[in-house]
A and B are shown apart, each in its own frame.
Chain A
């Protein structure tokens, strides 16, 4: 299992467009992937779940991946959130 914390940089936070992009990429991995904000967990492969996280600029979000491709998943998904 791998995890990485990112700090959201986008002024508009993780709004619908980046959420959709993120979910699309998360689904391409076999690993179970979750996001965590303020101790609450969200399913990275579910659009409504990611949107309901409501991550704004400067929020800290933990990406957690578990599976054969967890390293690649963390690397790519943290990049998506960092943009």
Chain B
């Protein structure tokens, strides 16, 4: 399976107007809910916040990888949001966040598949050019194509 198959094309938003973490997460989760990937937006967000309380998901370089392993995820997928203005987010380098890669993980995928998914995304984000492209993307298609690389699961 390719990363491109896991990215939810209906849950991508460049130029998110969100002003804080809550608004940003709600915005992305709403897209997942409308798409049917998540069956209860409120309860899924609670699972994402539960994970936020366990440790910071801002990995540095203006990127965050919040995630929720949840009963309310119908199918594991990734939502991506690029903020118009960077927002406050707990991060390893103390910087704000501009790109959010939100993982919605179903209970059956919460072990090995989730790890493999995260590791593939982490590999891509270890590449400075990928990060730069991500932060500067201006269209949904551009965002999708960044992750459309030959890094199969």
B116 touches A54 (CB 8 A): yes
Q: Give the distance in Å from the alpha carbon of A20 to the alpha carbon of B58 in the complex.
A: 11
B118 is contacted by which of A46, A49, A54 (Cβ under 8 Å)?
A: A54
The contact string, 1 if C-beta is below 8 Å from chain B, for chain A 46-72, is 111101111111000000000000000
A51→B111 contact, CB < 8 A: no
Q: State which of A12, A46, A54 has its C-beta within 8 Å of the C-beta of B119.
A: A54
> Does B87 interact with chain A (Cβ within 8 Å)?
no
* Contact yes or no, B59 A12, CB < 8 A: no
Expressed in whole angstroms, the Cα–Cα distance for A22 and B67 within the complex equals: 19
Chain A interface residue count: which class? 20 to 34
Contact string against A for B residues 110-125, beta-carbon threshold 8 Å, 1 for contact and 0 otherwise:
1110111011101101
Q: Please, which residues of chain A bring their CB within 8 A of the CB of B111?
A: 11-13, 56-57
Q: Of B115, B123, B125, which one neighbours A56 at CB under 8 angstroms? A: B115
Report if A4 contacts B (CB, 8 A).
Answer: no
Selected from A14, A48, A49, the residue in CB contact (under 8 A) with B115 is A14
Q: A48-B125, A55-B115 are in contact. Are A20 and B110 (CB under 8 A)?
A: no
| CB-defined contacts of A12 to chain B, threshold 8 Å | 110-111, 114-115
Could you tell me if B110 and A51 are in contact, using CB atoms closer than 8 angstroms?
no
Given contacts A16-B57, A48-B59, A51-B119, 9 further A-B contacts (CB under 8 A): A12-B115, A14-B115, A16-B55, A21-B55, A47-B60, A47-B92, A49-B122, A54-B118, A54-B122
Pairs of residues from A and B, 7 with the lowest C-beta to C-beta distance, nearest first = A54-B119, A51-B122, A52-B122, A52-B123, A13-B115, A56-B112, A48-B126
Can you spell out 18 A-B residue pairs with CB atoms less than 8 angstroms apart? A12-B111, A13-B112, A15-B115, A16-B55, A20-B56, A20-B92, A46-B126, A48-B122, A49-B122, A49-B126, A51-B118, A51-B119, A52-B119, A52-B123, A53-B119, A54-B120, A55-B115, A56-B116
